[in-house]
C-alpha cells in the first residue's frame, strides 16, 4: 500500500496526470476537426506539458533554495530531463508554423515563471492575471497547435471551440483558486479573493451554460457530443459546488484535472 501511494504521488507530482489531461484535449481537438494520424503533436503536447509544469512548480522554489532535493524530486528532475529530450524529438516532427507558435507559448510559460525585469515579479504573481494566462496557454497548446500542424482551415467552428475551451479551463481554474484560497497570497487577486467563494461558484456555474450551448452553433454538431458535454457540465458543476478550502490536494490535482481525460473517454464510449 505504501508503494502504491508513493507511485501515485509521483504520478501527480511529476505532472504526468496533467500531461495526460492536455493529451486528452489534443485528441478531442483532433476528433472534432477530423484530424487523423498526427501522433507527433499529441506526444509533443504530452511531454511538453510535463516539462512546463514541472518547471513552473519547482523552479521558483529551487532558485529560492527553499526546495530540498529529496529522492522523489531528484527522480522528477531526471524524468523531466528525459521528457525534455522527447519534446525536442517531437518538435522537429512538427510543421514550421506549429514550431513558431509553440515557441511563442514557451515564451509565455517563461514569462509566467521567471522575473524578466529587475525588481519585478513574474507573471504568475501579477494581480488577477494568472487565470487568464493559464486558460490562454491551454487553448493555444491543445487547440491551436493541432489545428495548425494539420493545416486545417480556420473557420467559425475553430473560434467557437476556442471560446468553449477557454471557458472550460477558466472554470476548472476557478475550482483550484477556491481550494487554494487559504494559501494564496492576497496580492494575487484571484477571483475568489476579489468576489468571494459563493459568487465565484455562481460565476463558474453560469459560464457552463454558454460552454454547453456553444456546441449548437457548430456547422455540423454531433448529437453524441451534446450528450457527452451534458455529462461533463454536470460533473464540473458538482466539483465546483463541493469545492472548499478544506478539500484534500487530490481534489484538484487528481479529480479536477481528470475532467479532460474523462471528457475524451466519454467521447470514445459514445461515438
pLDDT for the residue numbered 106: 82
Give the three cell numbers for residue 176.
Answer: 483550484
Check: CB of residue 138 under 8 Å from CB of residue 25.
yes
Give the three cell numbers for residue 24.
Answer: 486528452
Q: How confident is the model at residue 63 (pLDDT cuts 50, 70, 90)?
A: low
The pLDDT of residue 60 is above 70: no
Mean pLDDT confidence for 17-45? 93
Check: CB of residue 186 under 8 Å from CB of residue 193.
yes
Alpha-carbon 128 to chain mean position: 18
Number of H helices, E strands in the chain: 13, 0
CA distance 53 to 102: 15
pLDDT for the residue numbered 65: 52
Summarised one tens digit per residue, pLDDT across range 246-270 is: 898 899 999 999 999 999 999 888 8
Summarised one tens digit per residue, pLDDT across range 71-95 is: 778 889 899 999 999 999 999 999 9
CA distance 145 to 109: 15
Q: Of the ranges 116-130, 193-207, 210-224, which one carries the lowest mean pLDDT score? A: 116-130
Mean pLDDT confidence for 103-109? 83
pLDDT for the residue numbered 10: 92
pLDDT for the residue numbered 189: 81
Mean pLDDT estimate for the chain: 87
Supply the pTM of this predicted model: 0.90
CA distance 271 to 75: 39
pLDDT for the residue numbered 224: 85
Amino acid at each position: 500500500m505504501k508503494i502504491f501511494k508513493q507511485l501515485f504521488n509521483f504520478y501527480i507530482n511529476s505532472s504526468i496526470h496533467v500531461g495526460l489531461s492536455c493529451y486528452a484535449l489534443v485528441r478531442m481537438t483532433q476528433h472534432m476537426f477530423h484530424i487523423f494520424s498526427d501522433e507527433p503533436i499529441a506526444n509533443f503536447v504530452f511531454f511538453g506539458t510535463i516539462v512546463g509544469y514541472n518547471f513552473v512548480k519547482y523552479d521558483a522554489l529551487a532558485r529560492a533554495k527553499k526546495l530540498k532535493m529529496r529522492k522523489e524530486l531528484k527522480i522528477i528532475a531526471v524524468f523531466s530531463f528525459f521528457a525534455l529530450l522527447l519534446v525536442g524529438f517531437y518538435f522537429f516532427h512538427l510543421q514550421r508554423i506549429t514550431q513558431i507558435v509553440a515557441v511563442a507559448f514557451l515564451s509565455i510559460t517563461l514569462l509566467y515563471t521567471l522575473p524578466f525585469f529587475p525588481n519585478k515579479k513574474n507573471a504568475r504573481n501579477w494581480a488577477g492575471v494568472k487565470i487568464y494566462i493559464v486558460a490562454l496557454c491551454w487553448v493555444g497548446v491543445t487547440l491551436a497547435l493541432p489545428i495548425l500542424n494539420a493545416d486545417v482551415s480556420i473557420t467559425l467552428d475553430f473560434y467557437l471551440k476556442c471560446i468553449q475551451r477557454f471557458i472550460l479551463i477558466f472554470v476548472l481554474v476557478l475550482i483550484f483558486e477556491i481550494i487554494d484560497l487559504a494559501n494564496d497570497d492576497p496580492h494575487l487577486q484571484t477571483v475568489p479573493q476579489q468576489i468571494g467563494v459563493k459568487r465565484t461558484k455562481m460565476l463558474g456555474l453560469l459560464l457552463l451554460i454558454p460552454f454547453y450551448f456553444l456546441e449548437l452553433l457548430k456547422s455540423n454538431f454531433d448529437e453524441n457530443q451534446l450528450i457527452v458535454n451534458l455529462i461533463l457540465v454536470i460533473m464540473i458543476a458538482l466539483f465546483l459546488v463541493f469545492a472548499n478550502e478544506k478539500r484534500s490536494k487530490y481534489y484538484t490535482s487528481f479529480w479536477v484535472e481528470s475532467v479532460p481525460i474523462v471528457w475524451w473517454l466519454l467521447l470514445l464510449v459514445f461515438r
